[in-house]
Structure 1
Amino acid sequence: MSMRRDGVFPEEVVIQILARLPIKSLFRSKTVCKLWNRLSSDKYFIQLYNEISSKNPMILLDISDASESKSSLICVDKLRGGSELSLSFLNDRVKVRASCCGLLCCSSIPDKGVYYVCNPMTREFKLLPKSRERPVTRFYPDGEATLVGLACDLTCQKFKVVLAGYHRTFGHRSDGSFICLVFESELNKWRKFISYQDDHFSHMNKNQVVFVNNALHWLTVNSAYILVLDLSCDIWRKMQLPYDVIYGMGHRIYLLEFNGCLSIIQISEAWMNIWVLNDYRKEEWSMVDKVSLRCIRGMVPGIFPISQTDEYILLATHKQVLVYHHKTRIWKEMFSLKHSSALPLWFSAHAYRSALFPCN
């Protein structure tokens, strides 16, 4: 790498260096000069920064301390380990419900039906307007949406929030209809549509929702299929899993994103199989890796894959975050919970990445 004669790096080199900084460090550097100050609003730089950060996925832990009745947000990064994030700028007690492209969708704990979308790295947020369906006690059974999804378009800097669950009239049980509310940031309003669904997804792992191909994807509780919401036409449909996945005896199945594709992680006592959906339209899957779990045998019943890249997979256990490197086939501990937690870490774990994405 060569410098100019005046000892200053070329502008493109400076941009490449800055695009690899944590967002907090990047914002602190804005006072250095006019070039650095304008970068955070430059389209080319924002695209470059987000592309680079997509290769460094993290795990976000929303941890409740049973002894102190409080929660904290921990971001676990392969490069820097665990660091605390604060959502105090929301001025509310919230629970993280969904994560996508650096944004979080949070629901207010004291005020049911109040939702925020925020970027915890830049401390920007948007309080979502109330829909005509408020109060959300129309959702069954506990007044809150069963499924919460966040869909982000990095290119256009737009996002959508989806709240879905069984519908009920006041004082009655669910009538079997399934209500879906979609908020669009570009229009700043909600739209609603109602369909009829069976109840195979009423107790799914709601954290693992994957946004690819302009659709949100949830794995059903019995792992029989993937429930898909196509946001381009507001249609729910079902996607089949590979035959070997459905009929794998004693396997646990998890749904993740992998390089912009859907991926399934299949875990048995001794192996972790990684499947990728190569052809979305034809629903053609292929197994891309088979990982031995022999060296972490004691942890296998409690491991829960959260995020992955070509290089590694991040997994949560009861009190730890592990990383598995594909190339070296080595396991490492990234984070360990020191105090007692109300729930295992994987109950509160979300795939996360930092991004320059305004939401206000």
Structure 2
Amino acid sequence: MRNQKLKGLEERRELWLPQGLLVEILWRLPSKTLAWVRFVSKEWKCIVSDRTFIRLQLKPREQLSGFFFQGRYEWCDGDVKSVSYISVDRDSTKVEKSVLNFLPENVVIMSSNNGLICCRSSFPCSKPVFYVCNPLNREWITLQWPNLTKDSSTALIFEPFKGQIDVSTDFQVVTVCQTYFEVEDEDEDEGEDGIQFSFNIYSSRTKAWTLSREVCICSHNLQKKGCAFVEGVVFWLTNGDYILMFDPENELSCLVMQPFPASELNFTPGMCVGEAEGKLQYVLISEDGLQVWELEDWSSSRWSLKRFISLEELEKENPKCMYHISEKLESHLTTDTFPWINPLSFKDTTLLLRISTDIYAFNFDTRKAKLLCPYSALGPNSMFSPIVIPYTMSLVPLG
């Protein structure tokens, strides 16, 4: 009887709500809502799962959903097993620990792009692999790579609309491997260590890895904060004055000078890189204020200042969490391993940052910091160089 009533309701709905109008309504909904809409009826599921609909729905810029967060051990060779997800699109924030539990093993998050996430097996592991997954529809693919090492950095490149009439599921995974060598110095008895970066590229089309002919020489390691992807190009922060850039399509790499070289400052500023409006963003907080620099030309390391908020303005508009910010920055930037305030990740207009022992989302449009969670909610090993990755939901399938 209940099934007959539901069938009758569906038939009556079809009489007064044409499919064209239904599509017009549904495509305006965010991906998170559409994930639940699929269970309303078979017709709705077919509409939402259709690639033409997905392309239509994703054309408007999807809002930032949240950030994945994973701590790192300071002295241990193993990996922290716990992965946290912090949402920023809710009125009340909840730290979720089970978002990636559909994967067959514990993983370390590496990169995110257009709703897909790339992660690797958690070490120690006898046969480590990569996973590319979509947490929203819980689909995943395993990538075999026998040379996977803990020190390698990885970026996911996924552009579902690039040169395609339909939604493309093709992606690439780029890994950066570091090889150390000694650089001879004529003025010193002993040479300094140099680093050669080499690049391996996986293509979902060929289902194979290739070693790029490109190499890049640097004197600094990559930071393990994650990476930024901008129009086919990947950027990684180093521990020095440069940002490593790699273009996998043209197999071209270079070192981009940061807007404020750390070697010219008398303190260690908090910084991170991100993306907004198709441009690389460099976020810096120092005794001068909160700054967002945009990369205009990577070949000449030309930057432009896009946003600036003085410390006085930050304190005035956020008195509860940024009180006495000038004094605290002055004392902590020069003495503490963990500064009092530290940018963690940036996407569009949202900056995830730690202030003292809490996590906040700072919106550059409103200039307000929203408390998300205490740092203790992210695990006991969350203070030391955590991996933080912005995430935007997507219905794009992997199959």
Does the pair score TM above 0.5? yes
TM-score (norm 2): 0.72
Quick one: which amino acid aligns to residue 324 of structure 1? Answer: F
**What is the aligned partner in structure 1 of residue 251 from structure 2?**
234
For 2:297 and 2:198, how far apart are their aligned partners in 1? 30
Quick one: which amino acid aligns to residue 106 of structure 2? Answer: R
For 1:205 and 1:159, how far apart are their aligned partners in 2? 24
**What is the aligned partner in structure 2 of residue 120 from structure 1?**
135
Aligned match for 2:156, one of 138, 150, 168:
150
Change in 2 beyond 3 A, CA 1:278/1:20: farther
**What is the aligned partner in structure 1 of residue 271 from structure 2?**
253
1:177 offset after TM fit, Å?
A: 5.1
Aligned match for 2:352, one of 302, 311, 314:
314
For 1:219 and 1:176, how far apart are their aligned partners in 2? 14
2:88 paired with 1:77: yes
Quick one: which amino acid aligns to residue 348 of structure 1? Answer: I
**What is the aligned partner in structure 1 of residue 284 from structure 2?**
266
Residues 207-258 of structure 1, C-alpha deviations (whole Å, 9 max, x = no match): 3311112111112211x22211111122221223336888455333321111
Question: After the TM superposition, which of the residue ranges 208-217 and 11-20 deviates more from structure 2?
Answer: 11-20
Quick one: which amino acid aligns to residue 314 of structure 1? Answer: L
1:18 offset after TM fit, Å?
A: 5.4
For 1:58 and 1:270, how far apart are their aligned partners in 2? 28
For residue 263 of structure 1, give the secondary structure of its aligned residue in structure 2: strand
**What is the aligned partner in structure 2 of residue 183 from structure 1?**
202
Mapping for residues 100-111 of structure 1, pairs under 5 Å: 100-109=113-122, 110-111=125-126
Question: After the TM superposition, which of the residue ranges 209-218 and 241-250 deviates more from structure 2?
Answer: 241-250
For 1:48 and 1:346, how far apart are their aligned partners in 2? 38
Change in 2 beyond 3 A, CA 1:304/1:9: farther
Change in 2 beyond 3 A, CA 1:74/1:55: closer
**What is the aligned partner in structure 1 of residue 362 from structure 2?**
324
For 1:337 and 1:16, how far apart are their aligned partners in 2? 39
1:57 and 1:309 in contact (8 A); partners too: no
Change in 2 beyond 3 A, CA 1:184/1:111: same
How many residue pairs get aligned? The number is: 336
Name structure 2 gaps, 5 residues minimum.
1-12, 74-79, 162-167, 181-192, 316-321, 330-338
Residues 161-190 of structure 1, C-alpha deviations (whole Å, 9 max, x = no match): 11221359xxxxx99654321111122111
Change in 2 beyond 3 A, CA 1:194/1:79: same
Change in 2 beyond 3 A, CA 1:277/1:154: same
Aligned match for 1:36, one of 41, 44, 57:
44
Name structure 1 gaps, 5 residues minimum.
137-142, 169-173
**What is the aligned partner in structure 2 of residue 45 from structure 1?**
53
**What is the aligned partner in structure 2 of residue 304 from structure 1?**
343
TM-score (norm 1): 0.79
1:160 and 1:182 in contact (8 A); partners too: yes
1:53 offset after TM fit, Å?
A: 5.8
Identity, % of aligned positions = 22
For 1:164 and 1:316, how far apart are their aligned partners in 2? 28
2:20 paired with 1:20: no
Question: After the TM superposition, which of the residue ranges 110-119 and 181-190 deviates more from structure 2?
Answer: 110-119
Change in 2 beyond 3 A, CA 1:32/1:176: closer
2:107 paired with 1:94: yes
2:271 and 2:344 in contact (8 A); partners too: no
1:196 offset after TM fit, Å?
A: 4.5
Change in 2 beyond 3 A, CA 1:64/1:255: closer
If each structure's strand is expressed as a fraction of its own residues, which one has the higher value?
A: 1
For residue 290 of structure 1, give the secondary structure of its aligned residue in structure 2: strand
For residue 158 of structure 1, give the secondary structure of its aligned residue in structure 2: coil
2:343 paired with 1:335: no
Bigger CA radius of gyration: 2
1:16 offset after TM fit, Å?
A: 4.2
For 1:157 and 1:241, how far apart are their aligned partners in 2? 34
1:62 and 1:348 in contact (8 A); partners too: yes
Question: After the TM superposition, which of the residue ranges 323-332 and 153-162 deviates more from structure 2?
Answer: 323-332
